Every structure is written in structure tokens, then in C-alpha cells.
Amino acid sequence: LQRNTSVSDSDSVRLEVSACLRCLSSSDSSRNITVLQTLLSYLDEASHGAAQRAQFSRSHYSRTLRVLITTIEADWVHRLTARQREELWDALFLRGPPEQALLVLLEAIGELSPSTSLDHVVTITEKFLQDGRLTNLLWSYCVGSAQSDSPQLRETLLGRLSALPDIMANKLHHNISPLFLPQQYYPLLASAMLTALQRTCQALRGQHQPDNINCSLAFVSQTLGKLCLQGHGGLVLAAMAPRLSACTRSDMVWQRVCWKLFESIPQRSMECVLTALVLAVSGIVGNLVLRNKKAEFVITHKLLLLQYKYETGVLRTVLGYLAADRDRRPLLIQVLRCICQAWANPSAVKHTPMEQQLYVSKALLLSVSLLKDQELQDLRSELLQCLLGGMQSHLDSSVLRIRCVGMVVGECLSSRMDNADTKLKFEYEQDEETRELLSLMTPSGWCEPESESLQETKELAPNTCSVASQRRQTTPPLAPTDPDSDLDSDDELTPYDMTEDQEVSQTSPPRYLRDCLESLMSSEDAMRVELSLKAADPLVRRNAFAAREISVQMSKVLLHMEDKYNIQGFLILRHAAMVALAVTDCIPVTQYLTTEFYSLNYSLRQRLDMLEVLVAAAQELSLPTTDKKNSSIISALDVAELPPFQGHDPVHWRQVVEKRIQSKTRRISKGASQPATAKATPNRYAPVAGYFFFPLLKNYDKPEVTFDLLGSDHLVLGRLIHSLGLFMHLAVNAPVAAQMGSALLDFVWTVRYHTDQMVRRGVLFAVCSVFLSMPSQNLLLDLGDMLFETRTWLTDVAEGDPDADCRSLAVQSLVLLDKSLKKQLKDPQSPSLES
């Protein structure tokens, strides 16, 4: 009997609803208001039994709404008064099961074209959001009262919920209501989720109450996961995290609810949620990392070792989170081991980008600073191993920044491990980066979220920042003023230039080049040697004739000279003197230096010196010489250009007047009205470029006992290639440039995939300069097939090289190459004139 009544009930509901809907869709509109009221009554508790209502919500509600949407253009709808429309038509959307209403509304918005109807639907949606129907939606899923729950429907609903701002924006473009903007919508959704969680808590607490229900957080978790997956995690968690962390601090129920929430987040969105979460705050996750493999992987591995885009603060949060709890502590140790390995790995030092190495170094320092002394003792041997290996591979690197990071980390680790006696101490320049690294060892900015209330932590962070920034602002003005500055001081007296106030020396500098050479060779008097070294550069330049006689001998002496007397600026002085020699007597000196470069028994420093001297000399030679004579020539030209006296020639008077006006008018726009200041001077470098360049290409692959260019001495190799690139670059417009270019490309081809990034940078620089300096017609002619191989290699480097400089250099050379080729293909006949 009971079954019968229920069947008859359901039948009656179905019949009545069908009648109503038929009525609505027909054009006859007289009864429609009553029909709407009837339909609305099914949503009311008073008028129908629970079974009937459930029946309506489950089976007929969506249909009803869809019919309503189709009739939205109908005349009777337009005839409704505003009040009727609000109470009957709109109310049907706002009182029924929210998930169905939302789906229908969004579907309608997607289908309708811009019109008043669309506006109407949008208004209802807005109302839907404002009335907190989202909360009802979530809560209905929590208590499992949402009737229509299939996986597909759920997935659709999640998609719609998380993408609502996008859907609205796509449809409405600029006329969008602020409520639908992500900045407002996602916090709204977040607060709806919070309310749902809060109700769950209340429900859990109220065991004795009649409405004792089972709550499921799956849907909320899924929503959160979906939101984070789509990249809205920041906005949502910024709204949720503070509240959650405040509630979880004291409340056991909240804690359980919260942990449950994060545990039931789907696997594939776990990472997004966690990263968004650690950006916000970490205390609310509980021991999730211990229970969830995926979470463990994200926190202990991915965030620390695979990615490196995050700020230092995130590292602090993650590691701090691991260190905060006794259960998580073993994970910290495990993480530290991994980081140690990553840091000390010589291959990682070579092949990973600088930024990642910095990130790993930061993580290492942070985790070491979080260790307790006991743990440190246990890990001591491993840390030492890491320190030794890592220091070696870092110091081996040819990149200054990497060496620097290595030194700082080494210092910090050793000082943390050993109390007093055996600390490492390096000399490096303090800069922003090293200071930041050093500051990581003092655990100041991070405070345990468990021990302090969130408000405090929140305030603390900006405070420390602002204090720091204030300090930064105030220190520079303080520095120049004296501590006890008063108005009545010497400040009114402005000092004169006192740079001339140098120490007076007793001996006088040599006046002849041969004296200078003599004292450089054999003098034991520090003062004389210093003065001779200082005098060498000007002496050589002044007495070019005398210098040619002894140039090679003097180069030899200077090259082998050691800083025995600790002369100030020794390297610069010696360099200047050698450059002067190479410029004055170019061919013999370059021959000497280029042959010595590959000979036995020189230190790396000396070989680098040779390269530096050659480069500086080439640069100086390629600069145009400035002569005093030029000005007189120009003025003579000026006079010649004056028009000859035109006596009786009946020039038209108007022309004469115009000329005068022209000459009196100042043309500001004409920049170069005065005789051209840049006068053509012969390029002194072009004829000798080959002497600098070609001898250095020989012998590079012949390893000596003391010098293995292709082996361990890659520092010199990088410099050598760079210097060759410079010679190439300076040889622009020189006849020999084409041969130099193809020779250089051939040369660098063998080392283009060198493991040292300095070498790779040098290679790319050389390639750049080839494309810059080689005449474009030669480029295709001489290089031919090589060019296309080079191109593929360059694209490869531009995409895949771990070093940022290498990538940008590769892009640059590609651009240059394309430009040059394009020019050549467009206009193959014209010789290239531009540099």
C-alpha cells in the first residue's frame, strides 16, 4: 500500500509538472502566474510532502528551469510586473537545488545572445551568488543531499564552478559585473567553502543533536583541487588559509576537518594545492606528507630540487614546515641528504642553470640552520663529505658566481659544523647575493606557525621588510655626514682638489728607454723598478724608433716579470707597457707573443696576460688616431669652399638674398652643419689583423706537458676563443675578414659542445662576431653548408643550453645570421658597407 501511494504520488507530481510546463510553453498566458505559483510551491516545505518535494527536485526541477529559459522571450514573461517576476520567475531559480540552478543558468548564459533576456539571466546569476547559494551548493554535497550525483555531472559542475569568471567574461566582455571578476568571485567561493567546513565542524560537534549526519568533504576538496589546478589557488587560499590556520591552532575538530579536507584532495591536483598552500601558510596541512605519497614527493622533492622559481620565503616555509613537527623531522633529514647530494654533484654544477644552483644552495643553508645540534652530530660525516666534494666542484667552475656561492656555502657549513677551531674562510666580495645567503644561516624571518598566532606572523613579515627597507633608505644619507655634525663646523670651507697630494719618491724616473729596460731587467732597487715600470708606457710611445729596436726583448722582460716588490697597480702598469710595445712595433711583438702562447713553461696567468695584451693592442690599433693636424686641414678646406667672387656675373638678386638668409638662419635640425669632425683615418689594425689572429689558431690541439688547452685548461681555451672573436670583430671591413671568419668557424666547431659554459660563451661570442664582421656576400659563398649546420646548432643552443647567457648569445647570433643572409639574398650584387 505504501509503495502504491508513493507511486501514485510520483505520478501525480509528474502529471502536474508536465501540465504546468505545457501551459508555460504554450502562447496562452492567462494562467501562467498560477502555474508559476504551483511550481514554486513544490520548493516550499509547507505546501507539499517531503516525498513530493524530493521527487520534484530530483526529476523535474532542471526541466522546469530549462522550459522557463526557453520562454524567456515570450510575451507573458514581459507582461509580468517587476515584483511578480522577482517573486515567481526568479525565485524558481533561487530556491531550488542550487547545483541544478547554477548549471541551467550558466548553460543559458552560454546560449543566449546579448539581449535583455541575457541581462535578466545574468542578474539572476548575480543574485544567486549574492544570496550565498554557493554555500548551500557545497553544503548540500557535504551532507550528501544533492540528489543528482553522477561522476559526469559532478565533473561538469566542478568545471563550471571553477571557471565561472571565465564563462562570464567570455560572454559579457567589458560589461561584466564586478562580482564575476576573479578577484571577487574566488574569495566568495572560498568563503562559501569555509562556511561549509564550519557547518561540518558544527555537525561533528553536535553528536547529541537530532540532525546527526555524515559529512563528506570530498566535493569541497575536489573544488579546491580544481581551483588550484586551474591556477586560482593563490586567490582562494589567500582567503582561506588565514582563517583555517587560526581555527586549526586551537580547535581539534577544525584540525581534523582541515586535514581530512587536504587528504581527500584528488591526486592530480595535490601538487597545485600544496604549492599554493606553502605560498600562503603551511601549518594547516598537518602531517599530510607522512600519509600521502604524492604530497611527500611534492614537498620534499619537487619544490626543493626540481623547481627553482620560488622566492626564498617559500623555501623557508617548506623547510620550516618539515622541521616544525617531531614526526616530520626525519623527512627534514632525508631532504637535507638529498639537497647535499644535489649541491655537491659536480655534474649538477656544470649542467644546471645558475638560478637553480642558487636555489639549492639556499635550501641547503636553510635546512642546515634548522638542524638541532644532536642531528648535526649524527649527520656530521655526511655533511663533511658533501662540503668537501661540493667545494671542489664549485671552486673548479669558471663562473665567478658559482665559485662565490660555493665559498659562501662552504663557510656557512663549516662554521655551523665546527664551533671554533677549523673554520673555512674565503675572500670574496660581498654583494646582494652573498649577503642573502649569509643571512639564511640566522633563523630570523621564519617563526614557527604552531607557536605564534597568525596575526603576529602576518604582521611580522611586513614589519621586518619595512624596517629593512627603512634602514636601507636611511643609511645612505647618514654615511657622508659626520657623527657629531653641528652647524658651527668646517663645512662652510669647501676643500680644494687634493688628488695631487701623493707620496713623494726619492729617486727620479728613467728618461731613456734603455735605462728603463736595464732597471726592469736587473735592478734590485724597488723604487727604481717601480718608477721604470711606470715610465715604460709613456717612454715607449714617445720614442717609437728606440722602442722598435728593443720591443721584443722588452716584451720578454715584461712578460716574465714578477711582482717582487708588491708595487701598487703592478698588473695594470705591466699590461699598459706591453700594450704600448705591441702597438708601437706591432708585427714582431705579436709574432713573439703568439708563438710564446703555445710554448712550454708558462703559467696560465702569463698565457692569459698574453691574450689580454694582444686584445688591448688590437683594440687600440683599430681606433681611429686623433691628430692635431686635422683641424688645420679642415679650416683650409673651409676656405676653399667659399664661393669665388662673382664680379659682374648677373646672378639673380633673389638668389643672393636667399643665400644670405640661409647663411644667417640657424638650422637646429641640421645636426652636422659644421665640417665633419670625423675625418677618415687609415685603420691601423686592418693590415696586421692576420698577425694577431692566425698564429693563435695553430697548435691548439697539441697538448704540452704543462699546457693542455682541450683538456683541463679550459679557462684559457674560453679566453682564447673570446679573444679570437674580438680580433674577428675588430677586423670588420678588413680584406682579410672573410678568411678569418671561415677559419674561426672551423676552429670553434670542435669545441661547440664544451662542458664549461665559459668556453661555450666564448664560442658563441666568436660566432656572433663572425656574422657581424664577415661581408654578407662571403657568408654564403665561403661558408656554404657549414652555415646551415651552424644554424641548427644555434637553434639547439638557444633552446636547450642551461646557461642563460649562452641562450641569449645564440639567439643573437641567429638574428645576425638571418639579417645578413636576408640582405645578401635580397641584393646580392651590392657590397656590404655597413659594419
Q: Give me the residues that bind another protein (CB under 8 A), please.
A: 477, 480, 482, 488-490, 492-498, 500-504
Cβ-based nearer residue to another protein, 491 or 818: 491
For the chain, give the number of residues.
Answer: 835
d(CA 490, CA 480): 14
d(CA 198, CA 139): 10
320 touches 448 (CB < 8 A): yes
Cβ-based nearer residue to another protein, 420 or 498: 498
Question: Could you tell me which of 434, 385, 381 has the C-alpha nearest to residue 407?
Answer: 434
d(CA 73, CA 57): 25
User: Reduced to 3 DSSP states, what percent helix, strand and coil does the chain have, rounded to the nearest 5?
Assistant: 70, 0, 30
Cβ-based nearer residue to another protein, 250 or 494: 494
CB of 464 to another protein, least distance (A): 19
Cβ-based nearer residue to another protein, 490 or 649: 490
CB of 570 to another protein, least distance (A): 21
CB of 573 to another protein, least distance (A): 20
d(CA 18, CA 60): 9
Angle between helix axes 252-263 and 218-229 (nearest 10 degrees) is 60
d(CA 258, CA 247): 9
230 touches 162 (CB < 8 A): yes
What residue type is assigned to position 720 of the chain?
L
CB of 532 to another protein, least distance (A): 22
Cβ-based nearer residue to another protein, 494 or 673: 494
CB of 499 to another protein, least distance (A): 9
d(CA 79, CA 46): 29
757 touches 398 (CB < 8 A): yes
Cβ-based nearer residue to another protein, 50 or 478: 478
Question: Could you tell me which of 745, 764, 754, 748 has the C-alpha nearest to residue 711?
Answer: 754
Q: What is the DSSP letter of 298?
A: I
CB of 814 to another protein, least distance (A): 46
d(CA 27, CA 36): 15
Cα angle 496, 500, 504 (rounded to 5 degrees) comes to 140
For cell 543531499, the residue is 145
CB of 475 to another protein, least distance (A): 13
C-alpha 522: how far from chain center? 56
Query: Within 13 Å and on the Cβ side, how many CA atoms surround 264?
Result: 15
Torsion of CA 122, 125, 127, 132, to 10 degrees: -160
Cβ-based nearer residue to another protein, 498 or 680: 498
Cβ-based nearer residue to another protein, 363 or 531: 531
Query: Strand (E) positions, 499-631?
Result: none
Q: 735 by DSSP, 3-state: which?
A: coil
CB of 486 to another protein, least distance (A): 9
C-alpha 563: how far from chain center? 43
C-alpha 17: how far from chain center? 61
Q: How far is CA 465 from CA 85, 435, 459, 472, 512, in A?
A: 55, 16, 10, 10, 63
d(CA 769, CA 811): 13
d(CA 223, CA 232): 11
Cβ-based nearer residue to another protein, 494 or 655: 494
Cβ-based nearer residue to another protein, 47 or 489: 489
DSSP string, 660-718: HHHHHS--SS-TT-SPPS------SSGGGHHHHHHHHHTTTT---SS--TTTT-HHHHH
Cβ-based nearer residue to another protein, 495 or 644: 495
CB of 531 to another protein, least distance (A): 17
Q: 146 by DSSP, 3-state: which?
A: coil
**Would you state the cell numbers that stand for residue 399, as one nine-digit string?**
663562473
Cβ-based nearer residue to another protein, 501 or 701: 501
Cβ-based nearer residue to another protein, 477 or 643: 477
What is the C-alpha radius of gyration for the chain, rounded to an integer number of angstroms? 41
Q: How far is CA 379 from CA 288, 340, 382, in A?
A: 26, 11, 5
d(CA 127, CA 246): 31
d(CA 338, CA 315): 15
CB of 488 to another protein, least distance (A): 8
Cβ-based nearer residue to another protein, 432 or 488: 488
Cβ-based nearer residue to another protein, 491 or 525: 491
Q: Judging by beta carbons within 10 Å of its beta carbon (0-12, 13-18, 19+), is residue 703 exposed, middle or buried?
A: middle
Cβ-based nearer residue to another protein, 267 or 489: 489
What residue type is assigned to position 134 of the chain?
L
Cβ-based nearer residue to another protein, 214 or 506: 506
Cβ-based nearer residue to another protein, 439 or 469: 469
CB of 483 to another protein, least distance (A): 11
CB of 539 to another protein, least distance (A): 24
For cell 656530521, the residue is 380
